[in-house]
Structure 1
Amino acid sequence: MSFKKLKFNAKKAAAVAITSFAVLSASNALADKAHDHEPFRCAPGETYYMNVMLSGVEYWFPVYEMFKEAAKSMGCETSYTGTPEYDVNKQLSTFEQVLAKKPAGILVHPMNPDPFIEPINRAAKMGIPSVTFAADSPNSDRVSFITSDNYEEGKYAADAVAEDMGGKGEYAVLENPGQDNHDRRVSAFVARMEEKWPDMKLVSRAVSNSDVTKAYNAVMTMAQAHPKLGAVFMPEATSALGAAQAAKELGGNIRVMNADVNGKILDMIKAGEVFGAVNPNQGMQGYMGFMLLYMAAHPELIDPMNDYKSSGKNPMAVPFVDNGFAIVTKDNASDFYWDKYLAKRGTKGINE
């Protein structure tokens, strides 16, 4: 299969460049005695939290690894929190538990946008900034949002599948309605097919909610109703495990394309059981996520020429940073294994 190389557009690259410039500018102030403490150096016990849903999902681990790395370089402490269940109310409960500890800041992946508006806003009033990553709560008072471009991910996935099918055939999608980044990936995939590949026909869609069994059953049902089904796309890796197993049992003619990877998905890609995956740059997401959060927690480092004082807004305002993504195929799958990454770094992982 053929894949196009990923390119940043100028606008997104500029966002990253502006953020990097702010980091460097603040670092140059280390000798400035006017500050109460050294910029980019945490006070004893200063702790930053990362909060996620489905805390056992491997996707988060490299994000947290680089979150810790950035924090360690500045003498800061970190903690990983979340819920093992796909339940927004349970994630909200863990977010509240974090707030009770009065952290310096929270890097949060909100399962759904709207339920997080009030707690993020309340945290801001408490002087605790939030930075969202991978999924957003855009109407909240979060200071920044870092992610890969979910629309581009969906487009690249659609092009890869359609090209391999010769631009003609039937496809389906699995989805997790209400999760912002997943919705964007699916809508972009379908829109790209309609726009560029008019002979690709969407014949079915089903809700899997990151559940292996639901995904397996859904693909089995889809294939029975549509014997010519040639591909199925899903916005995350857990559903792909079930979809790939179903596709294998059905003869291996259904291309399974997903977003995100884990060890099992990588094994399946190398074995030809999963067609391919789009995978965000998790390490950059965690590292830059921490840098954004630290600056948000220390707005005294930044004095922009705008209305931040009169408006009461945090002067560290970078609405969006694109951390980039990769296309994972048989050719490069070996570079994405979590255990190999940890061995290379000489660390123990999420619980270290």
Structure 2
Amino acid sequence: MRRGLLTTGVVTVLTLAACSGGGRDKSAADDSGGGGNAPGSSGYTVAFITHETPGDTFWDKVRAGAEQAAKDEGVTLKYSNDPDAAKQAGLIQSAVDAKVNGIATTLVTPDALAGAVTSATAAGVPVVGLNGGIDQYQKLGALMYFGSDETLAGESIGKRIAGQGAKHPLCVIHQTGSVALEARCDGVKSAVPGTENLQVNGADDSAVTTTLQAKLAQDKSIDYVVTLGAPIALDAINAKQQASSPAKIVTFDLNQEIAKRIKAGEVVFAIDQQPYVQGYMAVTSLYLYLKNGNDIGGGRPVLTGPSFVDQTNIDKILPFTEKNTR
């Protein structure tokens, strides 16, 4: 039943994404800065807080969607980030202390963020979750959620590579303690029991490459490398070449470079959670809640993925990655 309800959310958000994508394309074509609304013209200020690791291109898309929504709705957007869970909690508390009108935040480390989110709701500041924490957002007091069902996404990858003969995938976790990343690997393992997890430091690309190279050189039975972020997939490509490994590479998330690697056949496929949509809808939902009391999703999470990108549809999607909207 839960899966059926969540699937409905995918249809809803994709329809909304089509509308938001149109707005983004128009502004991208007009470098004069026309269109949209002046920051703050709605009277609302929204704090947008993530666990972004500097250099991870995934967050460029999340932020681009949030900024476009803020422009469309006349919202003043205050963006901040820290991959350290305790520091992210501090950013949430600072937003509460600054008396913002709403907070959109990722919730990949829910236990560490629970106190700060509770502080926000106690102060009457509405909170919307995105990207991580789909199973915890309501317990923390967040009103709405926009993102992917990570377990479902992991199962989807697992079933697909199992159908392609996978026996011993390596699932690469690049951030310690992230419930979203762990759920992805658990989903893969549920479909391919021989899945092995590998922890790496996603903030250090050279260390990721070295660790992966050593693992692939040592164990030639690894037939797939499943990375949980596009930059890590690029590291995996380098590691595979250096280790002369026969493993195929698949990844969660998409950026322009990975789109090119899919077209070139170096990455078999990516599973996209549409981060631009997550940023756009998180801000838009807060604006609509503050203005009209709207509840998007009706008490259920709104799914923005999973969506497969492979050689059958890469030609259509590649131009959007160049605009930083996909």
Q: Give the TM interval when normalised to the shorter protein.
A: 0.7 to 0.9
Q: Does 1:318 align with 2:312?
A: no
Tell me whether 1:205 sits opposite 2:197 in the alignment: yes
Q: Secondary structure of the equivalent of 1:169?
A: coil
Residues 70-123 of structure 1: CA deviation (Å, up to 9, x unaligned): 33333222232113xx32223223333333322111111134111111101101
Shift of 1:178: 1.8
- Report deviation, 1:269: 2.5
Q: Distance in 2 between matches of 1:289 and 1:90?
A: 21
In structure 2, the CA distance between the partners of 1:330 and 1:173, relative to structure 1 (3 Å rule), is same
Partner of 1:280: 273
* 1:127 Cα deviation from its structure 2 partner: 1.7
**Corresponding residue of 1:340:** 322
Q: Is the 8 A contact 2:255 2:321 kept in 1?
A: no
Aligned residues with identical type, % of pairs: 20
Deviation at 1:168, TM superposition (A): 5.1
- In 2, the alpha carbon distance for the partners of 1:282 and 1:148 equals 9
1:101-116 map, 5 Å:
101-116=98-113
Shift of 1:177: 4.0
Between the aligned partners of 1:80 and 1:339, the Cα distance in structure 2 is 22
**1:240 corresponds to:** 233
Cα distance per residue 1:273-299 (max 9 Å; x no partner):
32221111223322322232224435x
Q: Which runs of 5+ in 1 are unaligned?
A: 1-7, 21-41, 195-200, 303-313, 346-352
- In structure 2, give the amino acid aligned to 1:133: L
The Cα shift of 1:44 comes to 5.0
Whether 1:87 and 2:90 are equivalent positions in the alignment is no
The match for 2:310 is 329
TM-score (normalised: structure 2): 0.78
Measure, in 2, the Cα distance between the counterparts of 1:95 and 1:206: 31
Determine which of 85, 96, 116 is the counterpart of 1:119.
116
Per-residue CA shift, 1:207-241, capped at 9, x if unaligned?
Answer: 11424234323322322332232112122223222
Contact preservation (8 Å) 1:161, 1:255: no
2:172 counterpart SS class: strand
SS at match of 1:71: helix
Distance 1:102 1:16, change over 3 A: farther
Aligned residue in 2 for 1:173: 171
Name the larger-Rg structure.
Answer: 1
- 1:1-352 to 2 correspondence within 5 Å? 10-15=4-9, 45-53=43-51, 54-83=53-82, 86-136=83-133, 137-138=136-137, 139-164=139-164, 167=165, 169-175=167-173, 176-194=175-193, 201-202=194-195, 204-211=196-203, 212-251=205-244, 253-298=246-291, 301=293, 318-333=299-314, 335-336=317-318, 340-341=322-323
The letter for the 1-side match of 2:200 is S
| Counterpart Cα distance in 2 of 1:177 and 1:110 | 14
Aligned AA (1:174): V
Note closer, same or farther for the CA distance 1:279–1:253 as it changes in structure 2 (3 Å cut).
Answer: same
Residue 96 of structure 2 aligns to which amino acid in structure 1?
L
After TM superposition, give the deviation of residue 124 of structure 1 in Å. Answer: 1.0
Write the distance in 1 (CA, Å) between the matches of 2:8 and 2:271: 23
Of stretches 101-110 and 268-277 in structure 1, the one that deviates more from structure 2 is: 268-277
Paired residues of 1:296 and 1:316 also in contact (CA < 8 A): no
Scaled by the length of structure 1, the TM-score of the pair is 0.72
Between Structure 1 and Structure 2, the one with more helix by share is 2
Aligned partners of 2:102 and 2:126 also within 8 Å = yes
2:155 corresponds to which letter in structure 1?
K
